[in-house]
Homo-oligomer: A and B are copies of this chain.
Amino acid sequence: MATPVSSDPVAASGARTGRLPRSARRRQLLTAAQEVFVANGYHAAAMDDIADRAGVSKPVLYQHFPGKLDLYLALIDQHTEALVNHVTQALAGTTDNKIRVHLATKAYFDFVDGEGEAFRLVFESDLRNEPAVRERVERASQLCMEAIADTIGHDTGVSRSRAELLAVGLTGASEIAARYWLNANRSVPKEEAVGLLSTLLWRGISDFPLEREAENSAQR
Residues of chain B within 8 A of A202, CB atoms compared: 204
Q: Of residues 107 to 166 in A, which have CB atoms within 8 Å of B's CB atoms?
A: 124, 126-129, 145, 158, 161-162, 164-166
Q: Is the interface of A mostly helix, strand, loop or mixed?
A: helix
- Given A165-B180, A172-B172, A214-B192, the answer on whether A205 and B200 have CB atoms closer than 8 Å is yes
Number of copies: 2
B189 touches A168 (CB 8 A): no
Contact B172 A175 (CB under 8 A): yes
Interface residues of A in 184-213 (CB under 8 A from B): 184, 187-189, 192-193, 195-197, 199-205, 208-209, 213
Binds B, one of A16-24, A40-48, A78-86, A89-97: A40-48
Contact residue among B197, B214, B217 (Cβ-Cβ distance under 8 Å from A165): B197
What is the 8 Å Cβ interface bit string for chain A, positions 10-48, against chain B (1 contact, 0 not)? 000000000000000000000000000000110110000
Interface pairs A-B: 4 shortest CB-CB: A172-B176, A204-B204, A173-B173, A126-B126
